[in-house]
Amino acid sequence: MKIKRLGRDAKSTKIMRELGVDGSGIKIMAKKAEVMLFYITNMHVGAANILKQDALSVGADLAIPNGTITCAFKRVDALLIGTKKHIEILAKKELAQPYGLKELAKELRAYLKREEFTPKIMGIINATEDSFYPKSRFSPKEAIAAIEQMVSEGADIIDIGGMSTRPGSEEISEEEELKRVAPIIDTLAKKTFGVRLSIDTYRPKVARYALERGFDILNDITGLENDELAQIAAEYGAGVVIMHKKGDPKTMQQNPQYTDVVAQVSDFFKERIHKAKAFGVQEIILDPGIGFGKRLEDNLVLLRDLVEYKKFGYEILVGASRKSMIDKIIPTPVQERLPGTLSLHQLALQNGATIVRCHDVAAHKQLIEIYKAYERV
């Protein structure tokens, strides 16, 4: 008899299927193979003590501060640890408990739902003169050739923008922004590329111009702050990228602060999803806004805990391509940040992202195909 330890990413369902395990047994045991962690804040001490006992009774556990059992505090933070099966049973159990545990149970159930999406590449086309990466700047004629190349390299979505929103960038007029992108939009309206087209704007006139000419995604860095954008997206049946940012591009990197960046972005998404649906928007994509009013540590924590946003049931987009967070980790000029970009985007895919927004499509196509092959093992 021999034994070997499997890696943390080993697919228990696939292994059991190969072993010839009964289908119903696979369904039950697969839930026992996935360990889940939940950080709970500001919980009533009574709720903490009840949840601790209930967790232990089903085989899970709750890490709580010393003194919780004697009610030394009125409210505590805690770490809930359990397999997917444990959490499933515990969520049902807590529906009958007081001190806010019923609401907690509903939240836990939301985390158990899984929507599966195929990883996609969004290629970046900037019709600007001041985007932070010079090689992403294109004239209208150059843009069409660049789009054709990105499509041939494996892009699923092309994202076109006419105004830089990099940290410290100056805002231009809506008319100037439209003037920059209109020739590209007009040319694309006459061509068929077989990919989706996204307009990167928060200006209503620019959004409407693109959507009425065949674009079907509105990439809004303000996350539908403007009601008119929500109305336009709904009118044309367009998908909307709801991105989180703090402040405006000119000042957003001037000492941004968060008490809990993952939770605060989650609250923002909840509010804006509700708004989008109220206006009739059907397709929603969530973008935590890497580098938009975030410190290095905020960006890294967001990448680590992207799984938090899967509870909403929508695709998650991450755009860390060649951004300054790489330079903050290891000093590197923007022209040499492709390896760091690929590393960050691989982490994003592993932790829940389904769309990566990038400058280098061919390299990301290779990354995604390798990632998909690894996921099939």
The set of catalytic residues is 323, 357
Eight-state DSSP code of residue 137 = B
CB 244 within 8 A of CB 265: yes
Burial (Cβ within 10 Å: 0-12, 13-18, ≥19) of residue 47: buried
101, amino acid identity = L
231, amino acid identity = Q
Q: Say how far apart CA 256 and CA 289 lie, in whole Å.
A: 13
Eight-state DSSP code of residue 308 = G
Structure tokens that stand for 136 in this block: 């992403």
Eight-state DSSP code of residue 170 = P
CA-to-CA separations, 219 to 19, 97, 207, 211, 318, in angstroms, rounded: 46, 42, 9, 11, 12
Q: Say how far apart CA 214 and CA 235 lie, in whole Å.
A: 13
Structure tokens that stand for 49 in this block: 């003590």
Helix (H, G, I), strand (E, B) or coil at 77: strand
Question: Can you say whether the dihedral through the CA atoms of 369, 374, 375, 377 is positive or negative?
Answer: positive
Structure tokens that stand for 350 in this block: 């592993």
What is the phi-psi region of residue 119: left when phi exceeds 0, alpha when psi lies from -120 to 50, beta otherwise? beta
CA angle at residue 189 from 187 to 193, to 5 degrees?
Answer: 90
Residues contacting residue 126 through CB under 8 Å, at least 6 positions apart: 136, 137, 138, 160, 161, 164
Q: How many CB atoms lie within 10 A of CB 302?
A: 24
CB 317 within 8 A of CB 303: no
Structure tokens that stand for 122 in this block: 């969004």
